Amino acid sequence: MKVTVVGAGLVGCLLTCYLARRGHEVTLYERRADPRRAGAERGRSINLALSERGLDALRRVGLDQRVLEGALPMPGRMMHAVDGGLTFQHYSADGRRAINSISRGDLNGILLDAAEAMPGVEVRFDHRLTGLDENTGRLTFETASGPVEVDKAQVVLGADGAFSAVRTHMQWRPGFDFSQSYLDYGYKELTIPARDGDYAFDPGALHIWPRGSSMMIALPNPGGSFTCTLFWPKSGPGSFADLDTPVKVKEHFTRHYPDAYAVMPDLLDDYEHNPVGHLVTVRCSPWHIAGSETVVGLVGDAAHAIVPFYGQGANCGFEDCVELDRCLGEKGDDFAAALALFEQRRKRNADTIADLALDNFIEMRDRVASKAFLARTKVEHALERALPGRYMSRYELVSFSTVPYADIQPRINRQRTGVAAAAAGVLAAGALAVRSLVRSRR
């Protein structure tokens, strides 16, 4: 089949690899210039935490090692208290499993190279989708040299992100459910540069400055620097709107983030010039439509954009590629049937991780700082060591397994029942022992 993929971001490129491997001819359109030449926009480097779902998807097309070469493993989180006190916590019970810090730009470059190298793949940059008619099969793209038309597109897959042009064309079909929901928080990127080639903080951790209603995080980059991200309210006290002068910003950082402030020489310049990004959750249904000429489908953020607080946006999008590939296999590469099956299996998982990601914001900015949270994690890790493979925390099931997102909570409920039964068993055994002891003493 001739397949059109719209969007040469992370998911569009990986999906192209999967489709080309199945023998499809893929044309990959991207509205921006080639990012390998153009570079990232200021304040939009956006580090990712690649975990098992993403790695599994890369592994299946032989890209995992190449990607991991440029990544830094983060086996735990490091919480920074206001007084500079540090608390490190492993993500896994054995302390060995890690999420991996990698720059979006580097990852995209590797995936673009891989997609371009596949047989039957053509990549066209600077092509912005402006028209899509599933009944005539006609696509229109805006380019620097005017509009370009494509006729008789058989399959169009929108991998064009949270503000998907493909989805926008589907939005006005009757029966298309759609929602976009913004947090009252924005984000802004800052930098902690290397100091004589060395890291200002431990590079083997995801750093968090939990401050109750807001937070900062930092992920290590190769070469000694960290990319920091502020997650602050858009308005009100301590918000981006509120902290609008260098004096206020400096005062706020010295009060709330003193250890970071001491290693951020470019803070005021970064703060002034880097944009405030928005945090949106997008849900829609159906993810596919079948016109008389063209089958249209959505994958990744185009189908289910989520907030970044579980580090699962790209991982979930990569897992989409695995699932769609599996569905194509099961349906003999009938895209209409495969896309229907894909949505049936995948929608509930996408809805679940969207909710988990929203919940995890509160956990990261607030709860991780509490003693109760630290104690709970300790108990969970002890249980995991005591019941290896039979007890796993939610964080581990999300980040270090490929258990479908929607099956995680039911599994946790079963684990709890199991632990409660085991605990009851222990108590009962203890009671019996006491009883026999008492009897033997009589």
Nearer CB in complex with its own copies: 224/277? 277
* Distances in whole angstroms, Cα of residue 74 to Cα of each of 65, 90, 107, 158, 437: 16, 9, 17, 32, 51
CA dihedral 9, 10, 16, 19 (to 10 degrees): -140
Helix or strand (DSSP H, E) at 88: strand 86-90
Residues paired with 5 in a beta bridge: 28, 157
Q: How far is the CB of 280 from its own copies (least distance, A)?
A: 8
Give the one residue of 83, 149, 151, 177 binding its own copies; rule: CB under 8 A. 177
Q: How far is the CB of 275 from its own copies (least distance, A)?
A: 10
**Binding window for its own copies (CB under 8 A); candidates: 55-63, 104-112, 174-182, 288-296:** 174-182
The reply on whether position 88 binds its own copies by CB under 8 A is: no
Q: How many Cβ atoms sit within 10 Å of the Cβ of residue 275?
A: 13
The reply on whether position 119 binds its own copies by CB under 8 A is: no
Q: How far is the CB of 420 from its own copies (least distance, A)?
A: 38
Nearer CB in complex with its own copies: 149/177? 177
The reply on whether position 128 binds its own copies by CB under 8 A is: no
Residues paired with 182 in a beta bridge: 280
The reply on whether position 344 binds its own copies by CB under 8 A is: no
User: Hey, what amino acid is at 183?
Assistant: L
Give the one residue of 65, 181, 245, 370 binding its own copies; rule: CB under 8 A. 181
The reply on whether position 278 binds its own copies by CB under 8 A is: yes
Give alpha helix (H) positions in 190-290: 246-256, 258-261, 267-273
Say which residue the tokens 């909710």 belong to: 355
Nearer CB in complex with its own copies: 97/188? 188
**Binding window for its own copies (CB under 8 A); candidates: 114-122, 180-188, 244-252, 294-302:** 180-188
Which of 427, 426, 393, 399 shows the shortest CA–CA distance to 411? 393
Number of residues that this document lists for the chain: 442
Give the one residue of 145, 179, 292, 440 binding its own copies; rule: CB under 8 A. 179
Report the distance separating Cα 402 and Cα 347, nearest Å. 16
Tokens in use for 287?
């993810």
**Binding window for its own copies (CB under 8 A); candidates: 6-14, 150-158, 166-174, 372-380:** 166-174
Nearer CB in complex with its own copies: 43/54? 43
Nearer CB in complex with its own copies: 88/163? 163
Report the distance separating Cα 435 and Cα 379, nearest Å. 29
Site for its own copies, rule CB under 8 A: 163, 171-172, 174-182, 234, 278
